[in-house]
């Protein structure tokens, strides 16, 4: 099953807000429906957002003309700010607008197919690297969701985990729950269950401690944007795990397609970090936990400086930033 696809003239997604309780397929027939799905995280994950953006332009090309069309493209492009894939997917498809709706759709489907191919390539390359660095039976910690739900099928970091499992080269997985929206507890746990891979959930704050205790051999996770200097923008909590990995002396591995590499952005300091609603922090699974009137600060992503990153695995390259890393991605 694909997380997002073009079916009978519209976009179909697995609604990730309903998981793991229910697997619901939603049909999105208008740009506004798709923008709402992006903003509520019904569809999420950098590669999937790239496909969503491109397919959104295909919807827009059928729905609008002229100024209204330009406005719809802009709404798609800016629906969320941090993952580079969304704007890039929109721009790729929008570059074909002059050639008509069919050309736009063809480009959007190409974005989709490239993400599917990227997932397969990353899985093989990443699994090779994990085995090289950690031996034949590693225990991995992952954060947020980077599986098929974050791409189209397969995944980025979780695709590597699945490939290691298929090869019989995986000892265990710790899943960081990923507050506030619990993508680890809800989505990664669900995907690992579907794949028959054993795992243990842990609260986010426990990650560095489990590393210090020798219970984790490497951290492996995805990215929403990789800057020219190798800084990694990813789900909030990533940076804390990177600090834990550095102190424990274990590899910190980032797996993302080339479509997430943004060589036009020099460093993490240049990226807009999405601030989401305080209500996500003040509530837990729909229950208000904080006192009435409480305030909250809710950055959805954080910045991991490149010196904390052992390796970045894309569908085409394996890069190893070191303390003297000065290269361009």
Give the nearer residue to its own copies in terms of CB position, either 34 or 140.
Answer: 140
Output the smallest distance, CB 11 to its own copies, in A.
26
Q: Which residues are part of the catalytic machinery? A: 224
Give the nearer residue to its own copies in terms of CB position, either 111 or 185.
Answer: 185
Q: How many CB atoms lie within 10 A of CB 247?
A: 11
Write down how long the chain is.
329
Give the nearer residue to its own copies in terms of CB position, either 63 or 246.
Answer: 246
Give the nearer residue to its own copies in terms of CB position, either 10 or 278.
Answer: 278
Q: How many CB atoms lie within 10 A of CB 60?
A: 28
The rounded distance, in Å, linking the Cα atoms of 296 and 229 is 31
Output the smallest distance, CB 299 to its own copies, in A.
6
Output the smallest distance, CB 14 to its own copies, in A.
15
Q: Could you tell me whether strands 283-284 and 200-202 are parallel, antiparallel, or unpaired per DSSP bridges?
A: unpaired
The rounded distance, in Å, linking the Cα atoms of 248 and 210 is 10
The residue behind tokens 């039976």 is 137
Output the smallest distance, CB 35 to its own copies, in A.
25
Report the interface residues with its own copies, using CB under 8 A: 20, 174, 176-180, 182, 185-186, 189-190, 193, 198-210, 212, 215, 236-240, 243-244, 247, 278, 281-287, 289-291, 293-299, 302-303
Nearest-5° angle of CA 218, CA 200, CA 154? 65
Biggest CA pair distance of the chain: 60
């Amino acid at each position: 099953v694909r997380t997002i696809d073009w079916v009978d003239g519209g976009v179909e997604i697995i609604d990730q807000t309903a998981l793991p309780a229910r697997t619901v397929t939603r049909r999105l027939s208008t740009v506004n429906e798709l923008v709402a799905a992006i903003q509520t995280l019904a569809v999420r994950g950098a590669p999937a957002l790239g496909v969503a953006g491109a397919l959104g332009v295909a919807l827009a090309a059928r729905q609008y003309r002229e100024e209204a069309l330009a406005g719809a493209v802009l709404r798609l492009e800016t629906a969320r700010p941090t993952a580079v894939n969304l704007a890039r997917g929109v721009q790729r498809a929008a570059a074909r607008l002059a050639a008509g709706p069919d050309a736009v759709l063809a480009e959007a489907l190409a974005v989709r197919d490239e993400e599917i191919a990227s997932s397969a390539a990353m899985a093989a390359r990443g699994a090779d690297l994990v085995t090289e660095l950690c031996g034949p039976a590693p225990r991995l910690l992952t954060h947020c969701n980077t599986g098929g739900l974050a791409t189209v099928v397969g995944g980025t970091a979780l695709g590597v985990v699945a490939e290691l499992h298929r090869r019989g080269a995986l000892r265990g997985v710790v899943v960081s729950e990923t507050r506030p929206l619990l993508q680890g507890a809800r989505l990664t746990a669900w995907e690992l269950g579907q794949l028959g891979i054993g795992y243990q959930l842990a609260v986010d704050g426990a990650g560095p401690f489990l590393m210090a205790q020798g219970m984790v051999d490497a951290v492996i996770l995805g990215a929403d944007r990789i800057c020219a200097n190798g800084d990694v923008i990813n789900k909030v909590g990533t940076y804390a795990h990177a600090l834990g990995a550095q102190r424990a002396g274990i590899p910190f591995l980032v797996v993302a397609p080339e479509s997430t590499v943004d060589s036009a952005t020099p460093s993490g300091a240049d990226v807009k970090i999405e601030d989401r609603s305080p209500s996500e922090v003040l509530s837990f699974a729909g229950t208000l936990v904080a006192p009435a009137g409480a305030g909250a600060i809710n950055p959805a992503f954080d910045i991991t400086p490149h010196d904390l990153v052992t390796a970045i695995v894309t569908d085409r390259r394996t890069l190893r930033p070191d303390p003297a890393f000065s290269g361009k991605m």
